[in-house]
Amino acid sequence: MSYPETEKEFSIRATVDQVVVAADLLRPCIPASLEDNARYMIELGFVEALNNIVLHGYRDRPPGDIHIRCTRTGDELTLSISDDGERMPGDLLRRAGGEVFNFDPSDLAGLPEGGMGLSLLRAAFDQVSYQSMDGSNRLELRRRLPPR
């Protein structure tokens, strides 16, 4: 049995206090049958993506709209996030691996306080792609869902 197909679209203003609104709207799209950790990771990855757009993409410009489309087909969840803010620089997303977490736990000063968001985003999804064209950016996040 596969997951029922769903599709949902919504928009938020690109401000930091709207991210929780988007998370609330996304939640019904995440299959309730997934275990808690998996549900949390999907929400976390999504929140990190939005934080990144809000805090960096719109840092030097008035907040625009961020458009979100969530589709669930077969055994895959796809989140598509579009905005018209500043594009994410070069290969930032590609370079965000798990290195930020390879810190020495005994070296207090060297512990990361930031720079973890994109790595968590990458960890939360199986496939992450980013396109920027004519002032519009589109981030697509895909996660395979376990067989039901």
Q: Is 134 in the site for another protein (CB under 8 A)?
A: no
Q: Report the residue number, 21 or 78, with the smaller CB distance to another protein.
A: 21
Q: Is 40 in the site for another protein (CB under 8 A)?
A: yes
Q: Is 101 in the site for another protein (CB under 8 A)?
A: yes
Say how far apart CA 52 and CA 58 lie, in whole Å.
9
Q: Is 32 in the site for another protein (CB under 8 A)?
A: no
Q: Strand locations in the chain, DSSP E?
A: 6-13, 65-73, 76-83, 127-133, 136-144
Say how far apart CA 123 and CA 69 lie, in whole Å.
20
Q: Report the residue number, 44 or 71, with the smaller CB distance to another protein.
A: 44
Report the residue from 1, 114, 133, 147 that binds another protein according to the rule CB under 8 A.
114
Neighbour count for residue 140 (Cβ, 10 Å): 16
- Which amino acid is residue 21, in one-letter code? V
Q: Is 36 in the site for another protein (CB under 8 A)?
A: yes
Minimum distance of another protein from residue 129's CB (angstroms): 21
| CA gyration radius, the chain | 16
Say how far apart CA 110 and CA 54 lie, in whole Å.
27
Report the residue from 14, 48, 53, 68 that binds another protein according to the rule CB under 8 A.
48
Q: Give the residues lining the site for another protein (CB under 8 A).
A: 16-17, 19-20, 23, 36-37, 39-41, 43-44, 47-48, 51, 54-55, 101-103, 105, 108-109, 111-114, 116-117, 120, 123
